[in-house]
Structure 1
Amino acid sequence: MEQLDISPKTARLLISCPDKPGIVAGVSQFLFQSGANILDASQHSTDPAEGLFFMRMELEIQEQPGFQQAFQERVATPLQMEWQFSYSHHRKRMAILVSAYDHCMLDLLWRWRSGELQVDIPLVISNHNSLENDCKQLGIPFYYLPVTAATKEEQEAAIVQLLREHQVDFMVLARYMQILSPQFVSLYPHRIINIHHSFLPAFAGARPYQHAYNRGVKLIGATAHYVTDELDEGPIIEQDVARVTHKHAVADLVMLGRDIERHVLTRAVKAHIDDRVMVIGNKTIVF
């Protein structure tokens, strides 16, 4: 007979529900009765008009059969909760989609190799073949899937097949310069992270640095967000900016912006890996 591993594990619990008295007490009491030790807890209540409560907990708990079913019946259902529970040692599997720009992809791969990103990267998919050697040097399978307007449906079907074969949990668009179809996006709600080279909602779409230069902005930035059907309109996870002046040419904005893009995307990916992002409508709460 296979023995159950009873050594303590670190787990994460995310909950959202209508705000009312007794939520924290109810959750904490259940966890205490289940032998869990709360290592960290963060919570947030929205304004009274929305009336929602959000909480993230890190726990030390033994794996035990029936835990999640009991939580659903005794806590989640009475409090009308939506919730997510996961063990930290179960590493997420992240696919990277990229076109020809390499800075975001290489930054993610370097941080993965150094252990900063606690995630598995089973594959990289690109509509260009120029970055294949960079991936092969790190032992990461690289799939070249070119696309045209006529082959877009076929190419996306091939991507989906690869993601399923490699059991991918979420994907990162590391400057993947293609607009994903609504059908594709619907398969991975809040599981596609994009980096946009602008401080959204300003300058959505193509050529944002050129538009920023034409407008004479004094700040440029980058935005990491979840992908939705609306171009560059998904829930924002992370943003950052840098000051610029009239002395900066478009090339200067691009150079400064790429550095911001790398850092913003890394922070967003890390927040997703660590289960620190909760989506409410078209906004996020990032613990």
Structure 2
Amino acid sequence: MSNPEYILTLSCLDQRGIVHRVSGFLAEHGCNIIDSAQFGDSESKLFFMRVHFSLEDRDIDDELLRADFGLLAADMQLDWELRDAHYKPRVMLMVSKIGHCLNDLLFRYKSGLLPVEIPAIVSNHMDFYQLAASYNIPFHHLPLATGAPLEDKLAQEARIIELINNHKIDLVVLARYMQILSPGLCAALKGKAINIHHSFLPSFKGAKPYAQAHHRGVKLIGATAHFVTGDLDEGPIIEQDVERVDHSMDAETLSAIGRDVECVVLARAVKWFVEHRVLQNGAKTVVFK
């Protein structure tokens, strides 16, 4: 029988001896550290830590481990979470009519490259119901007409929240879901929703962003994965990447390059999140790779 494994993440005001006390606690409770990472932010004065460890003492169970660490956390004023390292987070994917990110995430999931469960796919269009069926994942069509009144939008979002609760969703991924979420839904999903934005920086907003980029003669195509907040495309950034382009490429070529970058950036962000490598630091993130 293999030993249970955990991932501990924590943050607190930076202070002397944090690593010593946490590692000492784990050693005293029969735990073996598999890997550990930490970061002290000189600006926010906060300290962040992620520890992956196994529990090797058969006399210490999950309840005792959590209760005892809770006492240490209270004494040190830690903001902490202790998770089963083998648990696969439950992810809900949301998409509209552009499917490259959805297709990429589903392939990674099916191939075992993304350690998650996907109990639901939600869309305001029917375009990808057959793709969902090919992966044996329930597809939920929640239409919302262009220019729909606020009450219709809130009713549709109420169904989204119902699905999140019913399926015990740990993370919502907006895989090119093109509806703007209401402030209420953004608040409900705080720290639990990731979006992909088609730019290295929040520019070229609105329709046909790659046509706009081509018109401006950009030399870099990029993408940004970030947490969803009430400020459109301005949430804490998790991952970014770019590809160099040049004058010989038309808007369609830029768009194709952009799609590839978006897929990679979003997949990285989702993987790091479900592996508990992403900790929020105000308007920024700490990512332990």
Report how far residue 86 of structure 1 moved.
Answer: 0.1
Residue identity opposite 1:66 in structure 2: L
Of 40, 47, 50, the residue aligned with 1:53 is 47
Corresponding residue for residue 146 of structure 1: 143
Match runs of 1:67-216 below 5 Å: 67-73=65-71, 75-148=72-145, 149-150=148-149, 151-216=152-217
1:53 Cα deviation after fit: 0.8
**Correspondence for 1:3:** none
> TM-score, normalised on structure 1?
0.94
Residue 66 of structure 2 aligns with an amino acid whose one-letter code is Q
1:36 is matched with 31
**SS of structure 2 residue aligned to 1:268:** helix
Q: Distance in 2 between matches of 1:176 and 1:268?
A: 16
Q: Which residue pairs with 1:226 in the alignment? A: 227
Q: What corresponds to 1:249 in structure 2?
A: 250
Structure 2 residue 281 is matched with structure 1 residue 280: yes
Per-residue Cα deviation, 1:41-75 (whole angstroms, up to 9, x for no partner): 1111111x4211111110001543222221121x2
Partner Cα separation in structure 1 for residue 185 and residue 287 of structure 2:
25
Report the CA distance shift for 1:206/1:41 in structure 2 as closer, same or farther (over 3 A).
Answer: farther
Aligned partners of 1:238 and 1:267 also within 8 Å: yes
C-alpha separation in 1, matches of 2:248 and 2:128: 33
Aligned length: 280
Cα distance change, pair 205–37 in 1 and its aligned pair in 2 (3 A): farther
Structure 2 distance, partners of 1:21, 1:206, is 51
Q: Which runs of 5+ in 2 are unaligned?
A: none
Distance apart, 1:205 and its partner CA:
4.9
How far apart in 1 are the matches of 2:243 and 2:44? Answer: 33
Q: Deviations over 1:15-48 (max 9, x none)?
A: 111111111111011111111100101111111x
Separation in 2 of the partners of 1:242 and 1:130? 29
- Judge which range, 106-115 or 156-165, deviates more: 156-165
List 4+ stretches of structure 1 deviating above 4 A: none
**Sequence identity (%):** 46
Classify the secondary structure of the residue corresponding to 1:171.
Answer: strand
The AA in structure 1 aligned to 2:104 is D
Match of 1:66 among 41, 54, 64: 64
Separation in structure 2 between the aligned mates of residue 196 and residue 114 of structure 1, nearest angstrom: 25
Alpha-carbon distance, 1:143 to partner: 0.7
8 Å CA contact 1:17, 1:81 repeated in 2: yes
How far is the alpha carbon of 1:211 from its aligned partner? 2.6
> Which of 13, 16, 20 in structure 1 is aligned with 2:15?
20
Task: List per-residue Cα deviations over 1:161-208 (Å, max 9, x = no partner).
Answer: 111111111110000001001101111211101011111233345533
> How far apart, CA to CA, are the structure 2 residues paired with 1:64 and 1:167?
21
Partner AA of 1:147 in structure 2: L
